[in-house]
Amino acid sequence: MNWYQNLFELIDMRSFSNLWFWIALAVVWSTASHWVLGVPFDMVIRARKQGGQAETDLEDMVRINVNRLLYIARVSGLWLLGFGCFFLTMLALLAFYYDMEFAQALLLLGFPMSIVGLLSLSTARLIQDEGSTGEVLRRRMTRHRFFVQVIGMISIFVTAMWGMYQNMSLGPLGG
């Protein structure tokens, strides 16, 4: 056996039958729903319960991250959009035209996260345009988190269905 075969035996490239893929999927969506616009959601809860300094800290963190996101979008947004579309298109072609399971797994992770990225940019723009503070800011952050969680649930469901289909159609040894 050559080194290539040894490597692919050690690292199962059939993503949907690999436990590490499912762990990574859970971690990605757990992290995405906890860090709302780069701010841990527990700060939103603490600001709602305590007010005062917790509220000020939340507003400062949100202001910093919103300004950062919008600056990146203004400076290099078109380039990032172009590279993102190129990368997702490349993954889609590899995944479904060339039938590569690893590319399917990456696409099922990357495409919904790109939607979350666009949603984050939209929410950041709304927060800046409104000058959101206090209860309005907390509601906006909570609504954003809710939509991220909905996207995550749909994504996990679709990924699980596609993964089960792949595992049942390919069988235990990969066809």
- pLDDT tens for 31-90 read 999 999 999 999 999 999 998 999 999 999 999 999 999 999 999 999 999 999 999 999
Report whether pLDDT(9) > 80: no
SS3 for 100?
Answer: coil
**Residue 131: inside a domain:** yes
pTM score of the predicted model = 0.85
Please name the amino acid found at residue 107. L
The total of structural domains in the chain comes to 1
**Residue 19: inside a domain:** no
In the chain, the N- to C-terminal Cα span, in Å, equals 20
CA distances from 171 to 12, 31, 77, 168 (A): 14, 32, 43, 5
**Residue 130: inside a domain:** yes
Q: How far is CA 162 from the centre of its chain?
A: 18
Q: How far is CA 62 from the centre of its chain?
A: 19
Contact by Cβ (8 Å): 127, 66: yes
Contact by Cβ (8 Å): 138, 44: yes
**Residue 39: inside a domain:** no
Among 7-16, 53-62, 91-100, 144-153, the minimum mean pLDDT is found in 7-16
**Residue 35: inside a domain:** no
**Residue 55: inside a domain:** no
Place of tokens 């959101």: 132
Report whether pLDDT(138) > 60: yes
CA distances from 41 to 15, 36, 126, 128, 159 (A): 31, 6, 18, 19, 26
> Cα–Cα distance between 25 and 5 in angstroms, integer?
26
**Residue 154: inside a domain:** yes
**Residue 1: inside a domain:** no
Domain that holds residue 118: 64-175
Summary mean pLDDT of the chain: 90
Q: How confident is the model at residue 18 (pLDDT cuts 50, 70, 90)?
A: confident
